[in-house]
Amino acid sequence: MKRIAMFVLALVSMFSASAEDGSRLWLRYDKVLRATVTGPECIAAQELRNYYDGERVNLVIDAAMAQDAYRIQGYTITAKNETGLLYGAYALLRGETGYSAPQWPLRILNHWDNLDGSIERGYAGKSIFWETSSGKQIDDNTPVLQRSEVLPLTGERREGLINYARANASIGINGTVLNNVNASPKMLSAPYLQQVKEIAAILRPYGIKVYLSVNFASPMALGGLKTADPLDKQVAAWWKAKAKEIYRLIPDFGGFLVKANSEGQPGPGDYHRTHAQGANMLADAVKPYGGIIMWRSFVYGANHKGEDRVKQAVSEFVGDDGKFRDNVILQSKNGPLDFQPREPYAPIFDNMLRTPQMAELQITQEYLGQSRHLVYLAPIWQEFFGFVNPDRLVGIAGVANIGMDRNWCGHHFSQANWYAFGRLAWNPRLTSEEIAKEWIRQTWGKTHAALLSMMLRSREACVDYMMPLGLHHIFKFDHHYGPEPDGFKANYPLEWCPVYYHQADSLGIGFERSHIGSDATSQYAEPYRSLYDDLRTCPEEYLLWFHHVPWAYRMRNGHTLWENIQEHYNHGVAEVEDFVRIWQDAKPFIDDQRWQETNDRLLHQLDNAREWRKVCLDYFRTFAEGKR
């Protein structure tokens, strides 16, 4: 009951005109009740009557329009259906005119929410979807739940989900995966499917489909089978029956997201089957209903002993290219490792040319200071789209940073990353600056040039004070917050240890991935294969990702590598010092609560940036200056 009360307090004022706690996100409209709206009676009409400051709007349905597209011309919004009209209504409230259509039909949030209400890599409180009456952990050993143990969606919780749906619709997000990719089989038990049905009913009017992450061994955990072998007829029959059960409850259910044979999760490899065989079995189950399977390529470990981790996804999947059903989509992270502050693009996008692919981006800042650092992520994603043509993808997924905190995202500026994901999912050719200007204007009242500068510089600052020049994955174990360049645990896989990635020794630093090392460069298409392979032509931002470089190596600015590393760490800290100054100067223009909460986070970020600089430089100095 205590948590219900907290939820009520957190959500009841979410979109009230007086709230200055960040709960209204970028939708900080005041009700004007001015516009006359003609056309279909729908949510778009309600939003415009409440918030549009013009006198009239005409809503027109045109079946010839493209799915989800809208046209704003004069006082008229035209779209194929009510969802398109809703997208057009929010665009009009942003001040847009003209025609707009999304790049991809699949614009999906991946929530890593667990059934007990916790969130893996979540930094903004508990799940907005899941809670049990006992609050106990739901795992594979939990007995099948009774309906009474799953906390019902009360009026207040429903209101919170409506506000969640409204925020997503305002930026064109049209799908949400409700649970963690490290999925409990209990997700597919009847009590939870009933709640999925209720959630789907709340989100549906806003154009949002629901999807579920599934555990590949669910037929054993829930169905009592002795195997989950995808070629076993009983296993295939179990999944077909489960799909029928789900679609009977939720006719527009989107499909399944699957993490298989990665980090201990079960999968077809347990039975010496391929990823294609596992995915196709599931694809056949949902195919009659129009469902899809999003199969993640984040697979490394057991079958690749001794192989460079960044090569393992291509090694694992390239043999299956062209063998997947047409309703299977391979979902791959933007980089070949794991959402680092900077990575080269993942070469799997160069190698799987006969398999539909979607990119997976991480909105929650697992490796970028979490909700304690101001780091605007649009530049990372824009960088990725500079290498991977959006036209080659069929969709995009973002690991959500949303929780029960009053401001939804833990940090007021982390809201910008949710917003930016949605806008880029609609149009990946928007610039980081364009999106930041939109968000600042809607969130802080006008476009503050200094805040814009701070946001646009924040990602590069993070790279500099954490891992410049291609350094990567030197975080503390498990929670991935703070530096630990000397990290090594004998009982951990080597590829989880920071020392594996920076390879610092008396000769130099960096991971040799050229043809004289792990040969990871060979997985890239030209011209990048040759560009990255040659130390002389490798872009300096990726230098230590692809090469083990002598400490005294002369960089393009004439300084040595060791001097450049120090300069980058110093520059990163200086940038955060400037962010603190900018925020102090902005105090007269920002409401007290949001200013103070953001100020506290920035001061913490500065302390942490200084810690990164000290710990990393002190450690690397022992090699670079011959003190080890």
Active-site residues, by number, are: 263, 338, 366
Contact status, residue 544 vs residue 505, Cβ threshold 8 Å: no
For residue 319, with 0-12 CB atoms within 10 Å meaning exposed, 13-18 middle and 19 or more buried, which class applies?
A: exposed
DSSP class of residue 216 equals T
Residue 25 phi/psi, 5-degree rounding, is 55, -135
What's the rounded Cα separation, in Å, for the pair 235 and 218? 9
Q: 3-class SS at 296?
A: strand
What's the rounded Cα separation, in Å, for the pair 402 and 111? 8
How do 98-100 and 106-110 pair as beta strands?
unpaired
Task: Specify the amino acid at residue 337.
Answer: L
Phi-psi region of 95 (alpha: psi -120 to 50; beta: other; left: phi over 0): left
Q: Which residues contact 486 (CB under 8 A, 6 or more apart)?
A: 498, 499, 619
CA distances from 275 to 359, 443, 480, 606 (A): 18, 44, 29, 44
SS3 letters for 15-51?
A: CCCCCCCCCCCCCCCCCCCCCEEECCCCHHHHHHHHH
Vertex 476 angle, CA 472 and 482, to 5°: 85
Q: Which residues contact 492 (CB under 8 A, 6 or more apart)?
A: 477
Question: What is the token pair recorded at 10?
Answer: 């957190």
Contact status, residue 573 vs residue 465, Cβ threshold 8 Å: yes
Question: What is the token pair recorded at 95?
Answer: 């001040």
Q: 3-class SS at 63?
A: coil
Residues β-bridged to residue 475: 483
DSSP class of residue 299 equals -
CA distances from 358 to 317, 394, 396, 509, 524 (A): 15, 6, 5, 34, 18
